[in-house]
Amino acid sequence: MKIQWYPGHMAKAKRKMKEDLPLVDAIIEVIDSRCPNSSRNPEIDILAKDKARIMLFNKADLADPARTKSFMESFRKQGFYTMEMDARSRSSVKGVSKLVMESCAELLERKKQKGILSQSIKAMVLGIPNVGKSTFINAYVGKATAKTGNKPGVTKGAQWIKIGKDLQLLDTPGITWPKFEREIVGLNLALIGSINDEILPIEELIFYLLKYLTRYYGSALVSRYGETLQGKEDALEAMDAIAVKRACIKKGGDIDYTKVSRLILDDFRSGRLGRISLEHPMKWEEDSQMEV
């Protein structure tokens, strides 16, 4: 099942982002902790290769903490400055300013040696749709500066936001990229809500999710939906058992697969299934081969 989503306004936003990159010293990228690989726009690595890089693992409260820790360590080894957070909490984002300044320490030292006394830093905030970028900015600033929403495409244009005397943020619209090279990327982005739900084949999507959950998080299914899920390794059997448990049955006794799929998707996105990550830091290649 191949999922692609790249509306026309994103191409325009990408062009504007490229125009603005020379204006900034650092890139703050907000990603979803549940799928750090999938929720990163790979084009940013090419466009911003000479910038200080900060990676904010948002929605860490919904993700598997052990996996998040492992991913963060991996990104640090690649030269990123990382921090986990829940962007809905202002206290959770307090350390971002310090992290930005640490990432730009060499730049500030070079300025000082040239006699430039200003310690001001300009940073561009990037993120694909619905990873919580605008929510983070509002918590960081302390007021509703950026528009937020629980669907992709809320932020439409770039805007500068001043943080104290030494930091300016450039908020940008969330953009994906024209083609997902791996099928798993489209699936994961669909599951976290970064792709418009209206275009998704929801039953196939949840079938994939259940294959993944029965492999890695079977206990979460049992905890949420009862002992009838114990030992279930087949995704279709698991879906049928959940449908019966939650009365997702049509007149005549047939399973209402659309209804049960929406129920499971809502349980996953809300965290009612527990702290689940869609990617394993050591099994990216293996999971990429999982058939849908």
User: Tell me: the pLDDT tens digits for 108-135?
Assistant: 888 888 888 777 899 999 988 889 998 9
Would you say domain 8-171 falls under CATH 3.40.50.2300? no
Q: Is 131 annotated as a binding residue?
A: yes
Instruction: Note the CATH architecture for domain 201-288.
Output: Orthogonal Bundle (1.10)
Closest alpha carbon to 40 in 218, 193, 175? 175
pTM passes above 0.85 = yes
**214 labelled binding-site residue:** no
For 157-192, the pLDDT digits (tens) are: 467 888 888 899 998 887 766 567 788 888 999 999
Q: Is residue 130 a known part of a binding site?
A: yes
Contacts of 48 (CB under 8 A, 6+ apart): 21, 27, 124
Cβ–Cβ contacts within 10 Å for residue 160, how many?
11
Is 174 annotated as belonging to a binding site?
A: yes
pLDDT digits (tens, 9 = 90+) for 5-44: 455 566 677 788 888 889 999 999 999 999 999 999 888 8
User: What is the rounded distance in angstroms from the CA atom of residue 47 to the CA atom of residue 179?
Assistant: 17
From residue 180, alpha-carbon distances to 10, 37, 43 in Å are: 15, 12, 11
- C-beta of residue 233 within 8 angstroms of C-beta of residue 213: no
Where do the structural domains in the chain lie, given as residue ranges?
A: 8-171, 201-288
Q: What value, to the nearest 5°, has the Cα angle with vertex 255 and ends 250 and 260?
A: 100
- The answer on whether 133 is annotated among ligand-binding residues is yes
Residue 180: predicted pLDDT: 76
135 annotated among ligand-binding-site residues:
yes
Long-range CB pairs of 259-263 (<8 Å, 24+ gap) are 260/206, 261/202, 261/203, 261/205, 261/206, 262/202
